[in-house]
């Protein structure tokens, strides 16, 4: 069997891996957008990240992005916890109101 697959330049492979990492999208979606096989993209990613010792392609930029992303996630967690507490209080109020409204008004009049 002959190898009829496309050959891609090293620059294209690096750019594809950088797009995969920076976009946060699934490898399948990125591969489809680029018109490459998902297994090829994954092998490029593994090879390139393996060569750099797990470090990112642009280390300074990605470390700053990772720090910002982590901070954003912590802020989102705090916001969601506050919202969760608010919703719990609202639910309790609604439960009490439902109990009051479910009572027979004539019973309280005797």
Are 17 and 57 in contact by the 8 Å Cβ rule? The answer is: yes
List, for residues 73-95, the tens digit of each pLDDT value.
888 999 999 999 999 999 999 99
pTM: 0.45
Enumerate the domain spans of the chain.
Answer: 1-57
| Closest by Cα among 87, 63, 83, 85 to 75 | 83
CB atoms within 10 A of CB 99: 9
pLDDT tier at 59, thresholds 50, 70, 90: low
State percent of the chain over pLDDT 70.
79
71, 76, 82, 83 alpha-carbon torsion, rounded to 10°: 170
Burial of 12 (0-12, 13-18, 19+ CB in 10 A): middle
């Amino acid at each position: 069997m002959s190898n009829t697959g496309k050959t891609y330049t090293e620059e294209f492979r690096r750019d594809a891996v950088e797009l995969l990492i920076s976009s946060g999208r699934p490898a399948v979606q990125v591969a489809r957008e680029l018109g490459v096989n998902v297994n090829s993209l994954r092998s490029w990613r593994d090879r390139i990240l393996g060569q750099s010792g797990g470090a990112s392609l642009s280390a300074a930029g990605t470390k700053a992005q990772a720090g910002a992303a982590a901070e954003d996630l912590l802020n989102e967690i705090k916001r969601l916890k506050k919202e969760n507490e608010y919703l719990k209080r609202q639910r309790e109020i609604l439960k009490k109101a439902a109990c009051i409204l479910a009572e027979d008004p004539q019973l309280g009049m005797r």
